[in-house]
Structure 1
Amino acid sequence: MDSQNTYWTDRALLEWQVELGVTDAILDAPVDRYALETVKPAPKAATPEKPVAAPEIVKVPEVDAAALARTAAQTAADLDALSGAMQAFEHCELKKGARSFVFSDGNPAARVMIVGEAPGREEDRAGRPFVGRAGQLLDRMLEAIQMGRAADNAAQAVYITNVLPWRPPSNRTPDAAEIAMMLPFLERHIALADPEIIVLMGNTPCQALLGRTGITRMRGDWVEVLGKPCLPMFHPAYLLRNPIAKREAWDDLLSLKARLRG
C-alpha cells in the first residue's frame, strides 16, 4: 500500500514539474561540462588535388583584309563582276550597318571619272552616289561646263563612284584601315572604267589614291594617279558649308574643261 502511494505521489510531482516547464532530468550532483574532454572527429585524410590544366588558347588567325580585297578585285573581269565581288566581300564592318551597296552612277564610258568619299544618308537610301544636296550641287556644277552623269555622249558624260561603297555610321569620315581595305577595289574600278581623267573630290579620295590630305592646298593642281591625269577638287558638301570656296571650285571646273579640250 505504501509503495503504491509512493508511485502516485512521485508521478504527481513529475507532472507538476512538467507543467512548470521542466524538460530534462538532472543528476543529484552538478556536472562541470567544461572539464569534460571534448571528443573531436578524426580529421579526414587530405586528398591530393589534381592539377588543373590551363585552358588551351586557340589563336584566331589574323585576316589580311586588304590582301583578300586585292585578290577579289583582280579576279573581276568587268564592272559587273567587280560589283559582285565587292558585295560578296565580308571583311568591311561598314557593310553590316549600311542599308545599300552604292557602286556607281553615270556613264562607264565617260572620259571623266569622279571619285568621292562614301555614301551619305540619301545615297544609302537610294543606292546611288551623290544624290543628296551635295550631289545636286555637283550636277549643277557639271551642267555649267556642259557635262553630266546622264549624258549619253561619252565626251560630255561623267562616271561617279566613291572610295567606300557603304555608308559610315553618322556620316563620319572613313578611317585609314577602311580606306586601305577598299583601295584595291577602287584601283580595279578605275582600271576597268579606264577614264581619261580622274577627279578626286575631297580629302578621302586624295588620301586613298595620293597618300596625303590637305585639299585646300592640293585643289586645282594636276597630278598623276595610276598613270592618268588627276585633279583634286573641293567636295560639294564642303562648298555647301563654305560658299566662299565656290569661286575656287569654278576655277577648277574651267581647268577640267580646258584639259578635256586638249
Structure 2
Amino acid sequence: MDSSEIYWNDRALLEWQVELGATDAILDAPVDRYALEAAKPAPKVAAATEKPAAAPVPTKAPEVDAVALARTAAETAGDLNALSSAMQAFEHCELKKGARSFVFCDGNPAARVMIIGEAPGREEDRAGRPFVGRAGQLLDRMLEAIQMGRAADDAARSVYITNVLPWRPPSNRTPDKDEIAMMLPFLERHVALADPEIVVLMGNTPCQALLGRTGITRMRGNWVDVLGKPCLPMFHPAYLLRNPIAKREAWADLLDLNARLRG
C-alpha cells in the first residue's frame, strides 16, 4: 500500500470514529495518573535560616509646602509686574487648572484706596479683570456716588482692585482655607507693592485672609489695622444684590470712607 492509500485509509477510519461520536484523541495504552502524581518532584522547602524576600516598600513622594513656596515667590517680586508673573507661574493651586483666565488687578496702582474682593466669578474669568459682572457694575455705581472710580486718572479719586484668589473656584464656590493660605503671601506682597493709604475688604473671604476672622455683618463699618494700614470691612456687592436692604449700611460705609479720604 503506497502513502496515498495509507492517507485515505486513515482518513476514512477517522471520519468513521467522528460519526460514532468520538471527540478526543487517546493513546493506544491507558495512562496511570497515580503513577504520574507519585513521580512529581516535591515542592522545594525553604531552609529555616532562609528569610522570605521583603516586599518592596513604595516610595512616597515628598510633600510640597505650597505656602512656603508661595512666600518665596512673592518675596522675590520687586514690582507689580513681577508679582503678576510669579503668580501666573505658581503651579501648586489646583484652581489654576480649571480657570480660563488669570485675574490680577484693575484700576490705578497709584490709587489711595485698594479694594480686595474674594475671587473671580464667571464674568471675571472670561474678561480677565476683577469685578466686571453684576457685582462689579454695582461697585462702580457705589464708587461714582462718592466721586471715585477705577478708571479715574487722579490717584486721589481712583481705586485699585484685586482679589484674594486670582483664579475662579469651580461653580463660584467659596474658597477653602487651604487655598486662602496658599495665596495669602501673594496678597500680602500685593498690598506692600501697591502701598495704598486705605484698604477696603469686601466680604468674608478677604476678612478671613487678612484679619483671621469672618462675620462681615458684625465687622463692617468698623475700622481696623491690616498690614500696617487702616482698613474698612464692607459688604461685598454680590451680597447687596441678594440683600438690597443692606445697601443702607453700605452707603454709610462709603460716606465714612469718603470722609476719611477728605480728612
Deviation per CA, 1:115-170, whole angstroms, max 9, x where unpaired? Answer: 00000000000000000000000000000000000000000000000000000000
Per the TM alignment, residue 46 of structure 1 is displaced from its structure 2 partner at its CA by 1.0
Q: CA deviation at 1:177?
A: 0.2
State the secondary structure of the residue aligned to 2:259. Answer: helix
Letter in 2 for 1:165: P
Structure 1 unpaired stretches of 5+? 1-20, 24-35
Match of residue 139 from structure 1? 140
Counterpart secondary structure, 2:161: strand
Q: 1:46 to 1:104 in 2, by over 3 A?
A: same
Name the CA shift for 1:39/1:88 in 2 (closer, same or farther; >3 Å): closer
Q: Which residue of 1 aligns with 2:41?
A: 44
Summarize deviations over 1:11-52 as a string: whole Å, max 9, x none: xxxxxxxxxx9x9xxxxxxxxxxxx9x645324221247934
| Distance in 2 between residues matched to 1:40 and 1:260, nearest whole Å | 102
Task: Give the 3-state SS of the residue equivalent to 1:134 in structure 2.
Answer: helix
CA distance in 1, matches of 2:180, 2:235: 19
CA RMSD, 1 decimal: 2.1
- Separation in structure 2 between the aligned mates of residue 194 and residue 146 of structure 1, nearest angstrom: 22
Instruction: Spell out the pairing of 1:16-55 with structure 2 (5 A cutoff).
Output: 39=35, 41=37, 42-48=39-45, 51-55=52-56
Question: Where do 4+ consecutive residues of structure 1 move more than 6 Å?
Answer: none
Q: Distance in 2 between matches of 1:206 and 1:257?
A: 21
1: distance between equivalents of 2:197 and 2:226?
11
1:210 aligns with 2:207: no
Moved more, 38-47 or 238-247: 38-47
Partner of 1:109: 110
1:36-82 deviation per Cα after TM superposition (whole angstroms, max 9, x unaligned): 9x645324221247934312221211111011000000000000000
Does residue 120 of the first structure (1) align with residue 137 of the second (2)? no
Identity %: 84
Map 1:209-248; keep pairs closer than 5 Å. Answer: 209-248=210-249
1:88 corresponds in structure 2 to 89
- Write the letter of the residue equivalent to 1:202: G
TM-score relative to the length of structure 2? 0.84
SS of 1:136 mapped into structure 2? helix
1:8 alignment partner in structure 2: none
| 1:7 corresponding residue in structure 2 | none
Residues 47/235 of structure 1: CA separation in 2 closer, same or farther (3 Å cut) = same
Q: Which runs of 5+ in 2 are unaligned?
A: 1-19, 23-31
Distance in 2, matches of 1:39 and 1:189, equals 86
CA-to-partner distance for each residue in 1:164-186, whole Å, 9 max, x for gaps? Answer: 00000000000000000000000
Question: How far 1:84 moved relative to its partner?
Answer: 0.2
Deviates more, 1:39-48 or 1:192-201: 39-48
Distance 1:198 1:40 in 2: 90
How many residues end up aligned between the 2 structures?
231
Give, in whole Å, the separation in 2 of the partners of 1:40 and 1:236.
87
Alignment of 1:59-78 (within 5 A): 59-78=60-79
TM-score by length of 1: 0.84
Whichever residue aligns with residue 98 of structure 1, its letter is: A
Q: Which residue of 2 aligns with 1:254?
A: 255
Q: Quote the residue 1:186 is aligned against.
A: 187
Residue 45 to residue 113, structure 1, CA distance change in 2 (3 Å): same
DSSP-derived class of the 1:151 partner: coil
CA distance in 2, matches of 1:206, 1:85: 24
Alpha-carbon distance in 1 for matches of 2:229, 2:251? 22
Q: Which residue of 2 aligns with 1:198?
A: 199
